[in-house]
Amino acid sequence: MPHKAFPGRYPDTRLRRPRQAAWSRRLVAEHVLSVDDLIWPVFVIDGNGRKEPVKSMPGVMRLSCDRLIEAVGDAAALGIPAIAIFPFVDPALKTPDCREALNRDNLVCRAVRAVKAAHPDMGVLADVALDPFNSAGHDGIVRDGRVVNDETVAVLCRQAVVQAEAGCDIVAPSDMMDGRVGAIRRALDRAGSVDVQILSYAAKYASAFYGPFRDAVGSAAALKGDKKTYQMDPANADEALREVAMDIAEGADMVMVKPGLPYLDVLRRVKDTFAMPTFAYHTSGEYAMLKAAAGQGWLDGEQALLEVLTGFKRAGADGILTYAAPEAARLILDKCPGTGAG
């Protein structure tokens, strides 16, 4: 008898049979990538009528609020369910205490209000982290050369409340400070924002794949040192489960693994262990590599993009943050009309 893990033998069993036709491949597909899986990270900049390319991220733009509203309208028409807003902050507004992060009229808050006014059904996410507002480029407050935990958490709580008041549907602590999820949940609840969701960057690694993002938000030039004292060691996977478990216990509604491709094993373990809504971030460096290779003609960029995103789904991702969300949505809709919105 064949082993239970191998229920057939050639020639009686031919595994190529279901692969012969497109309709058959669709019927037996184990994982399906949908427009509903996509979150689009966008970069916003001060001013009007502005559209600036991010040189290290081909096809990605920094947009002023008016141009952002147009772009979000296009994304909504494709069925993309949510965006994530990241600011390019004027260097003159960056300070050691990150006070601009608490300004109710800062760039993030203005962008959130503008998008929600124009597209109320679009989900809007904002990072809770201080690096865009920090003159030291770090995700937390720096004292004597050290990123301090508890003082940072106190500021993050106020930042999350400000973002929720502006209309954010999801706040996303990406700072990796200990205890921040629980503190933010309590702060939101006290402020009356009990329905605002928390997407925790629960397993965020000290990665080399963030460089283009730091260019896009303007934190690269300001960053002093590295982020290894608070972001995770790429060598560790068991530790990621502890991080996720703590964030869930503190009230996270969803958790994320970042980066994506180098950490598919972590993503799979998180999903299998906790059965929580689990997200992956197709980071700026991953995106830039794909675009650079496609630009040189070394690979089929469209096919590679869909393969990467499907890989996230296969590893357990319920949602994927990717700068290629509009492109991916169009490819998905072209391939299977009717997939996505509605």
Match 């991080």 to its residue by tokens: 243
- E strands within 179-334? 197-204, 254-258, 278-282, 319-322
Known active-site residue 258: yes
Q: Which residues contact 133 (CB under 8 A, 6 or more apart)?
A: 89, 93, 94, 95, 98, 99, 100, 101, 106
The DSSP 8-state label assigned to residue 204 in this structure reads E
Match 């190529």 to its residue by tokens: 16
Indicate which residue of 94, 116, 227, 258 is catalytic.
258
User: What gap in Å lies between CA 229 and CA 227, rounded to an integer?
Assistant: 6
Match 């999801």 to its residue by tokens: 170
Q: Tally the residues of the chain.
A: 342
User: What gap in Å lies between CA 335 and CA 253, rounded to an integer?
Assistant: 32
Q: Report the Cα 78 to chain-centroid distance in Å.
A: 19
Indicate which residue of 94, 204, 271, 291 is catalytic.
204
Known active-site residue 204: yes
Active site residues: 204, 258
